């Protein structure tokens, strides 16, 4: 790794209790390291209580202020996380109670209360005046409490609020202030500005989206500034990862996971990654068109997390994906894949947490898996440059840099980042047993699917045949499904052969069954090879031509029978284990 700068104190070498003791002496760097380590957990804890991302973020911010001000009261320095989680819980309860049971007073009411005070100085329909007056009143309270740190944090918060609302155009800003500060209804605002209620609703909705986006942008800026204040600005590139190899397989998730594992002690063959994650055995078809999204229509965090666990690895994820699928990228104008197109899309709400996870993992020398970096596939993020605010990414042979704020702004506007958290021991028998359970759940259609309309496992073959009967197959998407599944079954056979060859003599002898299943999957891969000849990717062939459809349906039905035989063998192996 190439480090542009280094720290005098290596915070990573200190445990929480040491950092708490340093922070209690006024060391802001130590407190900053505590925040870096536990902020994601605090946010996740707040999110489980509130079920709302931005409310959770506000709660964490308030909790951090309180934790900083009252850190001296923490007696057991080793219990920082439980202590700060209690603060988060109390803040969450207070926020939820206030929002559900107490009507907040409008700024107009505050004006009436203080009519005799500073008359004429503040205009309550002006955001700048509101923030100015709030700043003065809060500063006076802080002075009385002799809390300069709180005063500074309140001032910084007000400055951030001003910056966020400043993204609005003048009329948008006036209407936004009228609604959210003066608490006027859309009907009242419509009369005030001589607009229709429909126009007011549109402006308020548009303004809210802009403010949310600006808030995320400011949060990212603040995150980078905090790294700078803590002396953590670096350029890190994980050099030992072999890049530019992501064309080896059609299953890009497995390729990225395999590359990540090379930076740990859990190195294994690519076929074992495909098998133990269950990715070699997947088949998911979107009814009707056989959409290109089929092979990735699953819950990433659940399936990839379980797959890594089968290999003795625990993962951490930041998930900003949706439960729908977007357009086929191959059929879109290429200009929509460029960075200037990204600038017009929403910044992901999960971006600050994703950047934090990326920095943490790369700091340990382990790249991270990411979805939809430049297009809807998986890839690797293997480096970052804080000064330039760039990520180094490798996605299916496309090796480029990406601006921090553009992560999650590709075609689908989805963000998913997975990092290796820790390595644990798992024996070979447990590995195979858990992998088989994951595979059989998929074949039986028991796993969660994204979107819910997708059909997985053995039942997917009937849906696929229906699409050919109806003449509704989209050529490019169909060809992609054929290529991915054929590639998967090839590695399924290799995985089963490797498992048989390395099976310990002390465990139940399942070698004959493993080898038998491998032979069946080799035959299935060959049959898919015939379909691949008919429907090459990306051209796609002519799937809706009547004679092609008849031939394809016959092949798919034959493959289904073979796959069912293979599943029966896998069940027998699972029973033996």
- Tens of pLDDT, residue by residue over 185-224, are 888 888 888 889 889 888 888 888 888 788 778 778 878 8
Task: Let me know whether 453 and 400 are in one domain.
Answer: no
What is the C-alpha to C-alpha distance for residues 577 and 571, in angstroms, rounded to an integer? 10
DSSP 469-504: HHT---HHHHHHHHHHHHHHHHHHHHHHHHHHHT--
Task: Let me know whether 157 and 95 are in one domain.
Answer: no
Number of domains in the chain: 4
Task: Let me know whether 454 and 390 are in one domain.
Answer: no
Here the tokens at position 432 are 């195979």
Domain-embedded: residue 86? yes
SS3 367: coil
What is the C-alpha to C-alpha distance for residues 69 and 60, in angstroms, rounded to an integer? 14
CATH number at residue 125: 1.20.140
Here the tokens at position 161 are 């609020």
Kindly report the average pLDDT of the chain as a whole number: 81
Task: Let me know whether 489 and 572 are in one domain.
Answer: yes
DSSP 229-273: HTT---EEE-TTS--S-TTS-S-HHHHHHHHHHTTSS----HHHH
Residues with pLDDT less than 70, the chain: 1-9, 53-54, 98-162, 181-182, 240-248, 324-341, 449-451
Domain-embedded: residue 333? no
Task: Let me know whether 404 and 464 are in one domain.
Answer: no
Task: Let me know whether 459 and 470 are in one domain.
Answer: yes
Of 373, 392, 423, the residue that ends a domain is 423
Is the pTM higher than 0.75? The answer reads no
Domain-embedded: residue 111? no
Domain range enclosing 247: 234-262+313-328+341-423
Tell me what pLDDT residue 154 has: 52
Task: Let me know whether 258 and 283 are in one domain.
Answer: no
Query: Are the C-beta atoms of residues 234 and 199 closer than 8 Å to each other?
Result: no
Task: Let me know whether 404 and 478 are in one domain.
Answer: no
What is the C-alpha to C-alpha distance for residues 160 and 211, in angstroms, rounded to an integer? 12
In the DSSP assignment, the letter for residue 451 is S
Task: Let me know whether 454 and 437 are in one domain.
Answer: yes
pLDDT in tens, 85-94: 888 888 888 7
List the one residue out of 352, 406, 351 whose CA is nearest residue 374: 406
Query: Are the C-beta atoms of residues 435 and 415 closer than 8 Å to each other?
Result: no
Tell me what pLDDT residue 170 has: 86
Query: Are the C-beta atoms of residues 139 and 151 closer than 8 Å to each other?
Result: yes
CATH number at residue 41: 1.10.1740.10
In the DSSP assignment, the letter for residue 121 is T
Task: Let me know whether 540 and 453 are in one domain.
Answer: yes
Find the Cα–Cα–Cα–Cα dihedral 253, 254, 257, 263, rounded to 10°.
Answer: -140
Query: Are the C-beta atoms of residues 273 and 469 closer than 8 Å to each other?
Result: no
Of 423, 454, 472, the residue that ends a domain is 423
Tell me what pLDDT residue 365 has: 93
SS3 357: helix
Angle of the 197-229 helix axis to the 351-363 helix axis, nearest 10:
20
Task: Let me know whether 256 and 382 are in one domain.
Answer: yes
Domain-embedded: residue 1? no
Tell me what pLDDT residue 90 has: 85
Domain-embedded: residue 112? no
Task: Let me know whether 291 and 351 are in one domain.
Answer: no
Domain-embedded: residue 8? no
Tell me what pLDDT residue 120 has: 34
Of 373, 390, 423, the residue that ends a domain is 423
Tell me what pLDDT residue 139 has: 44
Residues 6 or more apart whose CB falls under 8 angstroms from that of 28 comprise: 229
Cα Rg for the chain, rounded, in angstroms? 28
Domain-embedded: residue 307? no
Domain-embedded: residue 306? no
Query: Are the C-beta atoms of residues 413 and 406 closer than 8 Å to each other?
Result: no
């Amino acid at each position: 790794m190439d480090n542009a700068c280094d720290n005098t104190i290596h915070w990573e070498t200190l445990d929480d209790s040491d950092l708490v003791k340093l922070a209690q002496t006024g060391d802001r760097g130590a407190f900053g390291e505590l925040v870096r380590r536990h902020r994601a957990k605090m946010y996740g804890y707040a999110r489980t209580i509130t079920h709302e991302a931005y409310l959770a973020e506000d709660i964490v911010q308030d909790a951090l202020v309180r934790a900083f001000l009252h850190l001296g009261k923490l007696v057991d320095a080793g219990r920082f996380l439980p202590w700060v989680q209690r603060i988060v819980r109390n803040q969450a309860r207070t926020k939820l109670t206030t929002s559900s049971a107490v009507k907040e007073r409008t700024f107009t009411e505050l004006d009436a209360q203080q009519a005799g005070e500073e008359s004429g100085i503040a205009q309550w329909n002006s955001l700048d005046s509101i923030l100015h007056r709030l700043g003065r009143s809060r500063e006076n309270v802080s002075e009385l409490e002799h809390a300069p740190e709180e005063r500074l944090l309140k001032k910084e918060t007000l400055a951030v609020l001003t910056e966020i609302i400043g993204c609005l155009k003048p009329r948008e800003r006036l209407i936004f202030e009228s609604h959210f500060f003066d608490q006027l209804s859309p009907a009242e605002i419509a009369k005030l500005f001589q607009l229709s209620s429909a126009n007011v609703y549109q402006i308020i909705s548009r303004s809210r989206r802009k403010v949310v986006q600006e808030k995320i942008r400011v949060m990212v800026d603040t995150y980078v500034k905090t790294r700078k204040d803590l002396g953590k600005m670096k350029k890190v590139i994980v050099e030992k990862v072999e890049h530019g190899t992501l064309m080896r397989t059609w299953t890009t998730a497995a390729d990225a996971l395999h590359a990540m594992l090379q930076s740990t002690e859990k190195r294994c063959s690519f076929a074992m990654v495909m098998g133990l994650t269950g990715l070699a055995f997947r088949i998911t078809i979107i009814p009707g068109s056989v959409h290109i999204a089929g092979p990735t229509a699953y819950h990433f965090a659940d399936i990839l997390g379980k797959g890594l666990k089968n290999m003795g690895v625990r993962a951490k994820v930041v998930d900003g994906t949706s439960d729908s699928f977007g357009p086929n990228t191959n059929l879109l104008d290429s200009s929509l894949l460029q960075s200037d197109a990204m600038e017009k899309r929403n910044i992901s709400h999960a971006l600050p947490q994703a950047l934090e996870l990326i920095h943490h993992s790369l700091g340990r020398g382990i790249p991270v898996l990411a979805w939809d970096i430049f297009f809807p596939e998986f890839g690797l993020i293997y480096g970052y440059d804080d000064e330039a605010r760039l990520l180094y990414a490798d996605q299916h042979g496309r090796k480029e840099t990406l601006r921090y704020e553009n992560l999650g702004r590709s075609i689908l506007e989805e963000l998913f980042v997975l990092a290796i958290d820790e390595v644990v021991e798992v024996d070979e028998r447990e590995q195979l047993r858990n992998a088989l359970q994951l595979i059989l759940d998929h074949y039986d259609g028991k796993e969660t699917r994204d979107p819910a309309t997708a059909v997985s496992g053995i039942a997917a073959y009937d849906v696929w045949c229906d699409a050919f009967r109806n003449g509704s197959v989209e050529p490019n998407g169909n060809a992609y499904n054929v290529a991915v599944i054929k590639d998967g079954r090839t590695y399924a056979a290799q995985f089963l052969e490797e498992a048989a060859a390395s099976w310990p003599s002390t465990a139940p002898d399942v070698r004959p069954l493993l080898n038998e299943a491998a032979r069946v999957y080799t035959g299935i891969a060959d049959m898919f090879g015939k379909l691949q000849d008919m429907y090459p990717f990306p051209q796609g062939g002519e799937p809706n031509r009547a004679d092609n459809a008849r031939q394809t349906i016959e092949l798919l039905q034959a493959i289904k029978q073979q796959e069912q035989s293979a599943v029966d063998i896998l069940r027998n192996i699972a029973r033996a284990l």
